[in-house]
Amino acid sequence: MEDQSSTSAPSIDPFKLLKIVQNPDGSLTRQSLFPSVSITDEESTSSNTSQLAFFKDIPLNPQNKTFIRLYRPPTPPPSTNHKLPLLIHFHGGGFILFSATSRPFHDACSLKAVKLPAVVLSLEYRLAPEHRLPAAYDDAVETIMWVRDQAMDVNGCDPWLKEYVDFSKCFLIGSSAGGNMVFHAALRALDIDTSPVKIIGLIMNQPYFSGVERTESEKRFVNDRILPLPANDLMWSLALPEGADRDHEFCNPMAADGFLKEKMGRLTRCLVTGHGGDPLIDKQRELVKVLEPRGVDVVAEFAEGGCHGIEIFDPLKAEALLKSIKDFVDTCCRCVNSESAAAKSTL
């Protein structure tokens, strides 16, 4: 993609770019940027990318109209001793757009289920501004608690989870706004007894953070083709609580008080990925610089060039990201196996 950086005043209409119209009651009319994959599409040709894994939808909170799309590989693990990790996935879209059923996110989850392999749980969470933050975080935590209840066999465990999943090897994963959700859901989970579920890794691909003060990368890519500054400003204005600015901890946790930063030091292993052509790259680097000194084990992978959400547009970048995720998941799982073996040897 050609460099869209510019220091000129932005002339972009963010509503047109994002294909949204704000209604008199404050809600949005959204024109779909991506096609949606319904559960009936499972009957389509097996050569379709989305058919690499089996999938089904499970209600989470009918009152909030949230649900879970669950993916499993077509071939079960060779034995119960080789159960699979569980990836809890949050999609991107600036908290205001898209769905777990949107084609790029659906296909990516299906591919991860087969290639890692893993069971992938993708959350259909509530969008802003109809449901401003922290609604999406509440839905994410409710998902984690649903998984805990499944692991405890409360009112029965879903057959796919029971047969396939090792609940001691769970990950939170998301891109863009989904990466932001990974971060905040993980912080909340520190205060919850999730056992027997163990979250052993956080995967944040190009996580969506900003702040009141413009970063150099935001200024450099003010007219970026994918995420120009006016669109970024608009999405945050629609997503944050009424009256909050972009130094609110939901948007800019790096500017938060000491208590929150101390809590960040308790997070588990993290993979943070980014691209130099993303207007958000400076905030992503800043996140790593906050986490590492507090003792968090961070794998930071920042590539040159690219753009925000590049894995949606570039198959080679998507393949590279999948490899990074697989390497991270495999490493975290090996660590759990080693720790388990060491614990048994001391008994």
Catalytic pick from 89, 184, 275, 308?
Answer: 308
Closest CA to 239 of 99, 148, 128: 128
Indicate if 110 belongs to the active site.
no
Give the tokens for residue 102.
């949107």
Whether 6 sits among the annotated catalytic residues: the reply is no
SS3 state at 104: helix
Annotated active-site residue in 175, 176, 210, 217? 176
For residue 47, give every residue at least 6 positions away whose Cβ sits within 8 Å of its Cβ, in sequence order, or none: none
Helix (H, G, I), strand (E, B) or coil at 278: coil
Output the CA angle 227-127-143, nearest 5 degrees: 115
Please tell me the distance from the alpha carbon of residue 306 to that of residue 283, in angstroms, as a whole number.
Answer: 16
In sequence order, the 6+-apart residues with CB closer than 8 A to the CB of 102 are: 32, 34, 35, 36, 37, 91, 93
CA of residue 297 relative to chain centroid, distance: 19
Which is nearest to 183 in space by CA: 97, 277, 130, 251?
251
Cα(185)–Cα(167) distance, integer angstroms: 17
Chain position carrying tokens 């400003």:
233
Give the SS3 label for residue 14.
Answer: helix
Cα–Cα distances (Å) from 46 to 57, 111, 165, in that order, read 19, 13, 24
Is 308 known to be catalytic? yes
| Active-site residue set | 176, 278, 308
